[in-house]
Structure 1
């Protein structure tokens, strides 16, 4: 990456929480390294997350489904487990509220982030692969489980992705498939 380019996802793992700064547009195109990072820190037992969206220009539903998955995964794990979303900006805040994510995460739109140094970019060596069909499906499925409105909004997307997954599965089992 060039010297003036900045990772979309910058992280710092503290002993008692994980801090993530999101720069630019967070979407299915670039969220796979982010998803893998969150999977790893959840597996390590982290249950407090702070996300700073001050420099985030947009959030897509795949990214938000990943966030919802983390919020649901930590829910009830420990008494002080939580996800906090800071400085969302008007448009991103509206999206978060429309999808019901504000009900499973602490939203503090105007609160400043903690003073964090040593942020590390994740996905700097990103190979350009977008999230897989399965990952996009799982993210949208999580959103549909949050509320009935999301179930209606994403019904067609989920149905399409289920069809794609079924086709991939059949293709993987096809004995005539060339290697």
Structure 2
């Protein structure tokens, strides 16, 4: 089982998602539901993704974060901010092209006590597969390196 969690807060027009530990596929349904909630509101001034306590993030989660940024730019013209103090995490984000779709900063966010854990989501294997496929298609669209890295996985998922 994953040792990670995602916490969420809405404060003064800002949505904050904090990733803690190893954030993996098992949290993708809750993350996707929260992304839908954010864009159902459309009354915010900032989206902040805090990765200061994240040890690792899998590619499905990265794809959902890219989706978050794309929707934010399309729907409200806002570039979300990612906070990371870990050089390895920063390199990962840059290698995935996230510096093109996020403001990446190294200052921790205020009010960590305002955050609450996202509730777990039970999803069928088919729903999870569809979210994984969507997330990786989004990552492939960010740059040629991602397209090459995830082509085989996306092809395999599309065959099932």
TM-score clears 0.5: yes
Give the unaligned 5+ runs of structure 2: none
Q: Deviations over 1:137-166 (max 9, x none)?
A: 0000001111111111111011001111xx
SS of the counterpart of 2:75? coil
Alignment of 1:62-141 (within 5 A): 62-79=60-77, 81-108=78-105, 110-123=106-119, 125-127=120-122, 132-141=128-137
Is 1:146 matched up with 2:128? Answer: no
1:112-144 CA-to-partner distances (Å, cap 9, x unmatched) read 212343311112x45487761110000000011
Aligned to 1:58: 56
The aligned residue for residue 33 of structure 1 is 30
Checking the alignment, whether the CA contact within 8 Å between 2:82 and 2:103 is kept in structure 1 is yes
Q: What residue in structure 2 maps to residue 44 of structure 1?
A: 41
Q: Is the 8 A contact 1:87 1:111 kept in 2?
A: yes
Hey, what's the Cα distance between the residues in 1 that align with 2:32 and 2:74? Answer: 21
Give the TM-score normalised by structure 2.
Answer: 0.87
CA RMSD, 1 decimal: 2.2
Residue 78 (structure 1) shift: 3.4
**1:20 maps to which of 12, 17, 20:** 17
Question: What is the CA–CA distance in structure 1 between the aligned matches of 2:45 and 2:33, rounded to whole Å?
Answer: 16
2:149 is equivalent to residue 157 of structure 1:
no
SS in structure 2 at match of 1:24: strand
5+ residue gaps, structure 1, are 1-5, 165-179
Size of the aligned set, in residue pairs, is 156
